[in-house]
Amino acid sequence: MRSYKELIVWQKSVVLCTEVYKITSNFPKSEMYGITSQIRRSSVSIPSNIAEGHCRGHKEYIQFLKIAFGSGGELETQLIIALNIKYLNQKEYNELNSLLEEIMKMLNKIISSLVYPNP
């Protein structure tokens, strides 16, 4: 694969990030430097780390994928909090979380295949 842009996981994480930005634009302005910023940063971190890692060597690629996976865990937590405090409605949460779960499974599979390649 020549470009990280060809990776389905990168494509899906860009879609997720775009949706996060759209939805968080409705959060209270008082949260611009609070949870809004945190959610946006963790969502941007996922495709950014996939891209950066892909542009580096094999060993570093695995590490950057793990960072992207960790950012997914951060985002998952932040979305739950946003739902609990009613900044997200259930439909918005379900849509974002569903896509995030899919991305996390894909990242886990890629990491596993790179760490434990088939002989």
Query: Taking the model in full, what pTM does it have?
Result: 0.94
Predicted local distance difference test score (pLDDT) of residue 9:
98
Predicted local distance difference test score (pLDDT) of residue 63:
96
Predicted local distance difference test score (pLDDT) of residue 117:
80
Cα–Cα distance, 13 to 11 (Å, whole number): 5
The range of the structural domain enclosing residue 99 comes to 4-115
Predicted local distance difference test score (pLDDT) of residue 2:
83
Predicted local distance difference test score (pLDDT) of residue 1:
61
Instruction: Identify the CATH number of the domain in which residue 77 sits.
Output: 1.20.1440.60
Number of domains in the chain: 1
One DSSP character per residue, 36-64 reads HHHHHHHHHHHHHHHHHHHTS-HHHHHHH
Q: Could you tell me the end-to-end alpha-carbon distance of the chain, in angstroms, rounded to an integer?
A: 20
Average pLDDT for runs of 10 along the chain of length 119: 91 98 96 96 98 91 97 98 97 98 97 86
Predicted local distance difference test score (pLDDT) of residue 11:
98
Cα–Cα distance, 16 to 10 (Å, whole number): 10
